[in-house]
Amino acid sequence: MSVERYQRIRKLLTTRQPSLTVCLEQVHKPHNVSAVLRSCDAVGINRIHGVWDQKTKIRKGTAMGSEHWVKTDMHTSIGDAVSVLKQQNMQVLVTHLSDDSVDFREIDYTQPTAIILGQEKHGATEEAISLADKNIVIPMVGMVQSLNVSVAAAVVLYEAQRQREVAGMYAIQQLSEEECQRVLFEGGFPVLSNVCKSKGLAYPRIDDGGNIVADTTWWQKMQTTAKAMRQFEQEVNNEIEYEKSHRGNR
């Protein structure tokens, strides 16, 4: 990995917000899932939660590569998902219009926060609503009283981003170094990362120059072929060129 790429990934990691996340409950349209991921990446979310059919796919064109930088933790039920979130001491919000709903801008997003976004047609389930700490609503004055789920996610997330930026939360690295090392290896050496996963090998450490720090035994276990290395180099070059050509659209 080049020093430039290492520094770019490191800069990204310093702004990640592990105490902010979303939970997608049965959001089934791939372009919506991908759009939400893209917004999450844009505001510094590194991990989201999902409760949906395994057939749901991420559209790479819509996600713009953000699926590589925002991990998804899958849950079998909304109850399981909320349990995990509350174990992390997060306030759990759900986008839902009700008599006790509050304006989404009244929430303190500098606190650990998870936002549940419900299915496109019917919204959040009754179980999700009952498990959430608060219902939030985006005020609207038009004839239509709901936004597309990906648009709603972006609106709420950018309010959270605004509050956290004012509070200086983007100026201090919040991710653990262990998590940073995972992202550095997977983002800087995607082919080698896949080999590690297939062989059950631990990731090596990445130094400040973007180099792999590993002993001879690790390299022998990898048994990386010349073809795999050429594929890796091509993937990195393609990603760099893709990022350059789309940088103005982000």
The dihedral over CA atoms of 39, 44, 47, 50, expressed in degrees to the nearest 10, equals: -20
The span from the CA of 117 to the CA of 112, in Å, is 17
Which of 18, 43, 50, 29 has the alpha carbon at shortest distance from 182? 18
Nearest by Cα to 117 from 233, 33, 1: 33
Sequence-distant (≥ 6) Cβ neighbours of residue 180 within 8 angstroms: 10, 13, 173
* E-state strands within 120-190: 134-137
Half-sphere exposure of 222 (CA within 13 A, CB side): 22
Q: Tell me whether residue 138 is annotated as binding.
A: yes
Q: Exposed, middle or buried: residue 206 (CB in 10 Å: 0-12, 13-18, 19+)?
A: buried
Q: Report whether 95 belongs to an annotated binding site.
A: yes
Indicate the SS3 state at residue 138.
coil
Query: Tokens in use for 150?
Result: 């990906």
Annotated binding-site members for S-adenosyl-L-methionine: 95, 138, 147
> What residues are designated binding site?
95, 138, 147
